[in-house]
Structure 1
Amino acid sequence: MYYMEVWYAIVYHARGIFSLTCFEITFSEQSCVYHRRMSYKMRLMIDGVMLTAACLICGSLLISASLGSDIPVVGKPVLVVAPPWDGGAAAIVRAVGGVAVGPVAAPFAMFAVFEHKGFAEAALKAGAWTLRDAGALSAFCTTGETT
């Protein structure tokens, strides 16, 4: 109960920000309790913000989980994600000794194949943000047709 009293006191002092309707103010020896009702628009706004935050968090967790393992395999395609400055992912792939795969490199990422062990640590030290197994990304690119 004490926490609610503190919350009501904070809201009461920030009444310029919130549109609240005061029904009754009760003063006691132990604490000052402010009985307030939050406006309908304010409750909707807070609910919307909380719902948006929950969707963003859950969505980012699902996307990061679907990117596959973060332990790339030697000789298999790897997605290299790096900042776009200083040559971006292409410069990191060249510096570590990898070979670019595919004709297109995005500003933040590119596919590459590495033929030596320890390339993941070397790429991360060279400035890559992350390396992901490219095989796991094929789930995003399939059409469902079999040949």
Structure 2
Amino acid sequence: MTRFKQCMDLIMFLSLLILLSSPASADEGKFTFLGEQQCAPFEGVLFDPPALASILARQSTANLACQARIEYELSVEAADYDLQIRELQISFNALREESTLMITQKDLEIQQLQESILRQSSDNRLWWYVGGIATGVAATYGAYRLFNE
């Protein structure tokens, strides 16, 4: 990521340099072809054709290399984000399956407990009925004896 940042910093610096240098040199550049042993009509730097081609090629190559680096870094970041999304999706699916399994397990446990309660409790309705009648008769007889004396 640091090379990408360096490349972007270089582009920003060169853009700023071009932007600031254009107004500073108000006159247009001069250009002429010179033959061997000819005097230059103005002061300047002289490049032979291979050197000029090298300068122009470097600039073009640097732009292409920077663009390729930008595309590479973007693809690396996109792959990283895709990986993070896949990992989160896997984690989400695992948690969902775990919660579904826990709910199923708890439902099964509830069902087993209900069946266990039904098996353990016997049918004592007859005894409760007989006990209720006997208690009612005893309470009525006791109240009768208490209030009639």
TM-score (norm 1): 0.28
Decide which structure has greater strand share.
Answer: 1
Larger relative contact order (CA 8 Å, sep ≥ 6) = 2
TM-score by length of 2: 0.27
More helix by share: 2
Q: Which has the larger radius of gyration?
A: 2
